[in-house]
Amino acid sequence: MKASSHLEFLLKLKEFSDLRENPKYPQVITPCINRTYSILFAMIDQYLNLHPHMRLFHIGHDEVYYFLTNPACEEFQRLTGVSTQHELFAYHLSIIANYIREKNPNLSLFVWHDVLQNLNINILKKYQLMNVINPIVWSYREDISVEGFIVGSQANLFGQFKSLWGASAFKGATDEIATISDVKHYYENQVSWIQQLNSYIPTKWKNFDGVMLTGWSRYDHFLSLCELLPYSIPAMAFSLAAWKEPFKSLPRASLYSNSQLKEYIGKQLQCSSSIHLNIQEHANKLIPKCKFPGAAIYESMIFLVQLWIKVEEVESFVNKFVTDLHVKYNYIHLKRGEECLDKLTPIMNLLKKFIKSFQKSMDEVFSVQVAIEWLETYFMKRYRLINQKYEFIRRAVQEQRSWLPRPIPDTDKIHIIEKNKR
């Protein structure tokens, strides 16, 4: 549950806009207004009622970018004595944590590390957080040792909590608009965590209890969908296998040459051929036929990579003979237009076929809006441009039998659109 930041789904609404920590941005909820807690407590109650047997409860608190900027914070500071952003964070976290513990004292509460690491031991003790929350140190890099939390005072701080966890990733952690999973990246992320567990972590963090494997669908409520979960199941399988014997204890080797691991994953996912590890293999290898849940989406995404290659080959031919000038001034080389049409027609059929098959496979897993959002984000703009040129050529080939003399255009000025000056 998001209990501090990433509350855009709530704070973007006009009725809750007064609760924004920064009135301009709907990311962070303000601790300076009492109504904040009536709303968050109601959300917590919903979670507890929906999951009466849960033992672990993650309450977020990552990427909190704004502090003490709500107009109500001036009076709040006067009444509470909270004077710094770090103390405000601790104040808010303690209220949320204590409310949950009153409801269910047996729950283990997890909090992301990235803001928490800025608090000193005195603030943590003042708000009695050391034995109440369990930090999760997240790192999704191929080499997690480059993260600042691994050394120094931050490491000492994390070692004093009752329990400490780590977080790796299997999707949604390489780029905001990544649609293709870099299986190697996510596998190497697991390997790097394992290396730390076998070296640094035992010497520094006696309280380290485990690593959580995470997958992300958006970087932010307002941003686009990234790697789809069904497509990313192979990346998840490789990531989980990294933690499983015998693979966990094997000497480190390139994922590409690890035939034993690839064979194991292929069997687990019931695939007809080897799982692809990157976009280059999507482009050059046969599409594996698999039987894991959502496999049709996995196959559709690979098919699309190969389809775009075919589109680019056709476009490279068509663009030689049909430019924007031809379209704008409605004239065409008839013979070349016919040749372009011969190449574009089967491509248009494949693109239309992809839309139908992709929606069908997506609708088996998600609500219908998800496929539409994905298509509008990553597919439809290019499709419409191709279709626009296809329709122009089709009409021009059918209709044009005479043409204007050159120069085309017959004008001595270029039209430039500029913004109106106020």
Q: Which residues are catalytic?
A: 63
Cross-strand pairs, 169:
214
At position 176, the amino acid (one-letter code) is E
Give the number of other CB atoms < 10 A from CB of residue 270: 12
Residue 386 in contact with residue 322, Cβ under 8 Å?
Answer: no
How far, in whole angstroms, is CA 60 from its chain's centroid? 16
By three-state DSSP, how is residue 333 classified?
coil
Place of tokens 């990553």: 378
Residue 94 in contact with residue 123, Cβ under 8 Å?
Answer: no
For residues 346 and 301, what is the distance between their CA atoms, to the nearest angstrom? 19
Tokens of 350: 């494949």
Residue 377 in contact with residue 227, Cβ under 8 Å?
Answer: no
Rg (CA), the chain: 28
DSSP 371-391: HHHHHHHHTHHHHHHHHHHHH
Tokens of 22: 């920064």
At position 234, the amino acid (one-letter code) is P
For residues 380 and 373, what is the distance between their CA atoms, to the nearest angstrom? 10
CA atoms within 13 A on the CB side of 188: 17
